[in-house]
Structure formats: structure tokens, C-alpha cells
Amino acid sequence: MIECALTVIKEPLVEETVKIRVPPSDLADNFGKWRDTGEEADVTFNVRGETFHAHKLVLAMRSPVFKAQLYGPMGDRTARNITVEDMQPDVFKELLHFIYSDSLPSPENPDEENGNMVKHLLVAADRYAMERMKVMCEASLCKSLTVETVAATLALADQYHCSGLKDACIEFAISCNRMGGVVASQGYGHLKRSCPAVLGDILERVTKSPRV
């Protein structure tokens, strides 16, 4: 028996020897920089006493609601100062940040305070019809579910029609014998009062699942 060891020497490709590294997309950086400097801003928002400068065109390109407000037939094309009601300044600031930079604040830090901010951002995303931002908030909340918080998050998911987050909350609650803790948690009473139909959804899921 003859054993042959073959070594195939391939012609070196240029890409293998000299690499031209293409830097990552700088679209968000380019826009974010103008948000930070406020250069050429043409609209000012007043949010509970705090002032934010922005560019009407960028807002309208990113949010259909801003588009209607700033350029639509029912909107005011000459508006230079807009007052925003029912929103905290720090939430509006992060909304603007997302509009320009396409990223949420430190999403890898799922502590309680960040969770509350993400809930407010989900509400803001819903209000300005920023669909992707809303799903990113859902995904962030989904990662930080606990027995203590899941009932409140479920109520929010139901109120803002977040079907993915709602499913995730129910799945989390009925898994691993957590249901007792959930019923005893602070948010459960609010869930029961504000979205009683959701309790039916949980019950139906429980009857299909052998895990409780």
C-alpha cells in the first residue's frame, strides 16, 4: 500500500496578501455629529422647559409622525418652535439620539433604571411611529425580565400592541414555576385591573403547557 500526501499550493489572491480594510458605515456618525453640534438646525423643541435643536428634514425622513407634523397638509411648515407635551426631557433626548444615530442608549446594561428608560422609549417610539426603535425596546425589555417586573412589562406590551414582547412575557411567567411569584409581585394588581383579558391569554397558554 502506498500512502500519498498531496499539498495543493493555491495561487495567492491579492486579497490575501494586501488587504484593504473598508471602515464600517459612517452614516449614523455623519448625522449624529450634526445632532450634537446643532449646526444648521431649523426647529426647536421645548420639552418641560428644556430646549432641543434639530433638523426638520432628518426628523421627517425618520418618523412618519414628524413628517406629517412638519411637512404634511395638516402640519405647520413654518413652525420653528414646537412644544412637546407628556414626555420627559431625557426621553425626548434619547428619541432624538435614536433618530440621528439609529442606536438606543447603552442597551447592554439591563438594570432597573435602564429598564424604565427603555419603557419610556418604547412609548415614545410608538407615538412617533418609529417601528424599528419600538422592536429594539421590546427586545431589550425581553432580555431583562424578572419575576418582579414581568407583570408590569406585560401590561405595557398589551397596551402598546407589542405582540412579540407580550408572548415573551407570558412564556417567561408560566415557565419554571414562576407564576406564584408573578401573582405576588407588585405589578400584578395593575395588570389585573388594566388588562384583564391578558390573564385569559395566560390561562389559555398554561392549559396548553405542562410546565406550571
Q: Which residues bind its own copies (CB under 8 A)?
A: 11-12, 14-15, 17-18, 20-23, 25-28, 30-31, 33-34, 39-40, 55, 57-58, 60-62, 71, 102, 131-132, 135-136, 138-139, 142-143, 145, 164-165, 167-168, 171-172, 175-176
CB of 162 to its own copies, least distance (A): 9
Contact 136, 117 (CB under 8 A): no
Q: Which is nearer to its own copies, 82 or 136 (CB)?
A: 136
Residue whose C-alpha cell is 489572491:
13
Q: Which is nearer to its own copies, 139 or 183 (CB)?
A: 139
Which of 71, 52, 53 lies closest to 61 in space, CA to CA? 71
Q: Which is nearer to its own copies, 99 or 195 (CB)?
A: 99
Taking the C-alpha atoms of residue 115 and residue 118, their distance in angstroms, rounded to an integer, is: 5
CB of 178 to its own copies, least distance (A): 10
Taking the C-alpha atoms of residue 102 and residue 119, their distance in angstroms, rounded to an integer, is: 17
Q: Which is nearer to its own copies, 5 or 22 (CB)?
A: 22
Q: Which is nearer to its own copies, 50 or 131 (CB)?
A: 131
The helix-helix angle for 196-208 and 163-174 (nearest 10°) equals 60
Cβ within 8 Å of residue 131, ≥6 positions away: 125
CB of 11 to its own copies, least distance (A): 6
For residue 75, the Cα-to-chain-centroid distance in whole angstroms is 27
CB of 63 to its own copies, least distance (A): 9
CB of 124 to its own copies, least distance (A): 17
Is 11 in a helix, a strand, or coil?
Answer: coil
How many C-beta atoms lie closer than 10 Å to residue 171's C-beta?
A: 15
